[in-house]
Amino acid sequence: MSASTTVRSASFQALVDDFVRDQCRADPAMASFWGLTEWDHEVADLSADGFGKRDASNRRWLSTFEDADSAELTAEQRVDRELILARVGVAVANADYLDWRRSPDPYAWADGTFALFVHQARPEDEAVAAALDRLAKVPDLVAAARANLSAELAHPQILRRDLATIRGKAQFLRGELEDFVQDPARSEQLRRAAEPAARAFDELASHVEQLAQSAQGDFAYGVERYDNLLQIGEQLSFDTRSLREMGWREYRALDEQMSDVAERIGGSRDWKVVLTELQKQHAPDMQGMLDEYAATTERARRFVVDNDLMTLPAGEHCDVKRAPAFLSASAVASYFPAAPFLKGARGTFNVPFTPDDASADQVEDRLRGNSHFEIPATTVHEAYGGHHAHFVRMAGANPLRQFLQSTFFAEGWALYFEKVAFEHGFYRDDAEVLGWLSGRIMRAARIVVDTGLHLGEMSIDEAQEFLRTNVGVPDDVARLEAIRYAADPTQASAYLTGALSIERSRDQWMKEGRGSLREFNDAITDTGALPPGLAARAIGIAQAGG
């Protein structure tokens, strides 16, 4: 396509449709999770050659959409073009990081067997047939991981962290996958097919364990790549160092606010001490915790509706359930959205039970981490009007926007709505307010730590100490958090960065008299989960810098 080729609406849509199909072929597991079944028997090509082809494809698509003149496009199509330029553009700009050579994570869940069953998109016999085909290809995924992982690029602590994921995947295949199937004969067939795949992951775990002994890589993303992510990928106007300053400003303001609240609760301005005392107040057991989350979810839904904060689609429902067994190692609640390409608007709020064989101390730790004062903000974040409310609204967005979602917007939206809930009186007392603020200050600290790690100005040990000292995170948890941020550059910064961008858009919307808060919330979630800077432009907001 020559420079500035005029593309009419119909031909542009054909290009986008081809691009979406290309994304599905590149990531069949994600296609299955979103309810598209055409690629259910396939897995991604994670060989070095496969990654090379994906990079070449990204460069071709970027050139194609850069050359397309948007003059003949509809307003929605112009936004879609900008979305592709942003998401594919940053993938091309930062391809040299070679994350597929640094971590086994891309290989651990690429078979997508869980995605075949989670939404019940197909009859059981068809889902099992697809799972059998995918399980047979797991040894190829593991062989690709063994060939690609590099001792020169991988960091030993990140490799050791990822061992838990690999071993957890083997455990899932051996003991949990078959539970998705009702028919005993099919369940047994799935169990037999899963065992060789589980053994392949056992072999990968052994390889990664050995690789960690010689690994000497540097995890730092670097300022240029981080700037690319913010400015190209998320369409924000500031750079990494400005983001770190923003994180510090938010941390200091929240620290002062929390000190005031803590003093009202316990007579001490040391909010870390007050939080520790509040965590002793929790449900008596796992079932009690589940019941409390369910009741709070219903209260949050009524609050959103009664206060006219956003429009919930007819028929939507958020199931509150015990988290699947393979998530039992996670101490935090999570959310599975409804598949946007299937009928229905039922999402699942996963309550973090401990494993069945957990000790009494482990159960107590989990209950303390989900205490009475923390559950309200967590519920808003995961259910109403956070993730669930957002995803059931964006189910009507076009297929492109389902695949090119921004973590900065999705996580930013959920954190933004925690503040909306505060502004409209959802939290019933100072303890619940402190629970909300404790989550927000953690996100501010994440910006400081994440930028420090990936600018090469903070070590994992220093990041661990920062979280322990400044946020009161227990030392072992702080260690795991610091390694997680090192392994997944920019993700830890996404929450508060996205929330602040959405808050600026909201404030500008209200200042200009564009409509009510509900109308703003509806308008911006209708756009999907666009990069925050693009989402602002899509609803006619010109944002100032951070």
Q: What is the pLDDT of residues 119-162, one digit of tens each?
A: 888 899 999 999 999 999 999 999 999 999 999 999 999 999 99
How far is residue 429 from each of residues 79, 206, 369, measured CA to CA in Å? Answer: 42, 50, 19
Q: Are residues 252 and 116 in the same domain?
A: no
Q: Are residues 117 and 255 in the same domain?
A: no
Residue 18 lies in a domain: yes
- pLDDT, tens digit, 9 for 90 and up, residues 218-254: 999 999 999 999 999 999 999 999 999 999 999 999 9
Q: Are residues 153 and 14 in the same domain?
A: yes
- pLDDT, tens digit, 9 for 90 and up, residues 254-263: 999 999 999 9
* Burial label, 292 (beta-carbon count in 10 A; 0-12, 13-18, 19+): buried
Q: Are residues 210 and 237 in the same domain?
A: no
Domain end among 167, 186, 214: 214
Q: Is the pLDDT of residue 542 over 90?
A: no
**By the 8 A CB rule, do 523 and 79 touch?**
no
- pLDDT, tens digit, 9 for 90 and up, residues 175-200: 889 989 999 999 999 999 999 999 99
Say what the pLDDT of residue 297 is.
98
Q: Is the pLDDT of residue 3 over 70?
A: no
Residue 452 lies in a domain: yes
**By the 8 A CB rule, do 334 and 347 touch?**
no
For 270, the token pair is 């040391």
Number of domains in the chain: 2
User: What's the rounded Cα separation, in Å, for the pair 245 and 238?
Assistant: 11
> 430-454 and 271-278 helices cross at what angle (nearest 10)?
120
Q: What angle do CA 329, 494, 419 make, to 5 degrees?
A: 90
Residue 138 lies in a domain: yes
- pLDDT, tens digit, 9 for 90 and up, residues 308-346: 999 999 999 999 999 887 777 678 899 999 888 887 778
User: What's the rounded Cα separation, in Å, for the pair 97 and 517?
Assistant: 41
The values of phi and psi at residue 320, to 5°, are: -110, 110
The values of phi and psi at residue 321, to 5°, are: -135, 160
Residue 544 lies in a domain: no
User: What's the rounded Cα separation, in Å, for the pair 341 and 33?
Assistant: 10
How many beta carbons lie within 10 A of that of residue 29, not counting itself?
20
Which residue is it, tokens 């509706």?
Answer: 305
Please spell the DSSP secondary structure of 242-292, one letter per residue.
HHHHHHHHHHHHHHHHHHHHHHHHHS-S-HHHHHHHHTT---SSHHHHHHH
Residue 219 lies in a domain: no
Q: Are residues 151 and 280 in the same domain?
A: no
Q: Are residues 304 and 399 in the same domain?
A: yes
Mean pLDDT of the chain: 94
Which residue is it, tokens 């958020």?
Answer: 318
Q: Are residues 206 and 263 in the same domain?
A: no
Say what the pLDDT of residue 1 is.
42
pLDDT band at 544 (very low <50, low <70, confident <90, very high): low
Spatial neighbors of 245 by CB under 8 A, at least 6 apart, are: none
Domain end among 160, 185, 214: 214
pLDDT band at 395 (very low <50, low <70, confident <90, very high): confident
Residue 545 lies in a domain: no
Say what the pLDDT of residue 6 is.
54
Q: Is the pLDDT of residue 543 over 80?
A: no
Q: Are residues 124 and 86 in the same domain?
A: yes
pLDDT band at 8 (very low <50, low <70, confident <90, very high): low
Q: Are residues 326 and 421 in the same domain?
A: yes
User: What's the rounded Cα separation, in Å, for the pair 270 and 378?
Assistant: 23
pTM confidence score? 0.94
Q: Beta strands of 352-492 (E only): which ranges?
A: none
User: What's the rounded Cα separation, in Å, for the pair 31 and 403?
Assistant: 8
Residue 49 lies in a domain: yes
Domain end among 189, 214, 239: 214
Q: Are residues 279 and 340 in the same domain?
A: yes
Mean pLDDT of 450-455: 98
Percent of the chain with pLDDT over 70: 97
Say what the pLDDT of residue 20 is.
95
pLDDT band at 2 (very low <50, low <70, confident <90, very high): very low
What domain range includes position 301?
230-538
Residue 222 lies in a domain: no
CA R_g for the chain: 23
Q: Are residues 370 and 275 in the same domain?
A: yes
Mean pLDDT of 460-479: 94
Q: Are residues 46 and 149 in the same domain?
A: yes
Mean pLDDT of 99-118: 93
The values of phi and psi at residue 6, to 5°, are: -75, 125
- pLDDT, tens digit, 9 for 90 and up, residues 253-310: 999 999 999 999 999 999 999 999 999 999 999 999 999 999 999 999 999 999 999 9
Closest CA to 33 of 349, 336, 321, 414: 336
